[in-house]
Amino acid sequence: MRAYKEIERVRGPHHPVLRPSNVQIERELEVFSQLMDNQFRVPILGWRFGLNAIIDLIPQFGDIITTLIALYVLVAAVRYRVPKVTLLRMGLNIAIYFIGGLVPLAGDVFAIWWKPNIRNLNLLRRRATVSASEAKHGRASDWWFVALIMGGLLALLFGSIALTLFVLWYVASQFRFGI
């Protein structure tokens, strides 16, 4: 039995693809996204933020940790067989979150506003091609594609760490020779 009621027929260039019109996403993904991006509310203003905002307050390491946590929804999207362009867009949401979060103070405000887990969960809801009960395994090509996206995100991470270390080394060497 399928978790959705209707199936809409989407025609591709070579063959038709069946896609559920209302996909039931695993409850754990929804709870995870809410916890990370919208768990707490500022009383008077009504602004919402989650654990991402709190973890991001740890300099440099907070951005790394929350970026790695955001990969959870991206990996789950493979099992729901979302199109590769959607996987790429989800990876781009995470990259924007990471790069924006690197800016001191303003990056923390940006990270509260951007909410990558909620954005990616909404993309997953719109573009999933199988229901939660059918989402046991992803296709091998999708796993390789996500591995490439994750590799790019890891290169971005290590590049930012290398740049930070270089700047610190340069500043330290200037102070040592300037005295």
The whole-number average pLDDT for the span 140-168 is 85
Share of the chain above pLDDT 90, in %: 8
CA distance linking residue 13 with residue 126, whole number of Å = 21
pLDDT reported for residue 137 = 67
CA distance linking residue 134 with residue 105, whole number of Å = 43
pLDDT reported for residue 90 = 92
pLDDT reported for residue 17 = 45
Among the listed residues 21, 30, 7, 15, the one whose alpha carbon sits nearest the alpha carbon of residue 128 = 21
pLDDT at 7 over 60: no
Identify the band that residue 92 occupies on the pLDDT scale cut at 50, 70 and 90. Answer: very high
pLDDT at 16 over 70: no
Q: Which of 16-20, 29-33, 103-107 has the lowest mean pLDDT?
A: 16-20
pLDDT reported for residue 134 = 66
User: What's the pTM value of the predicted model, to 2 decimals?
Assistant: 0.70
Alpha helices (H) along the chain: 27-37, 51-55, 61-79, 84-101, 106-114, 116-127, 140-178
Average pLDDT, the chain: 79
pLDDT reported for residue 120 = 92
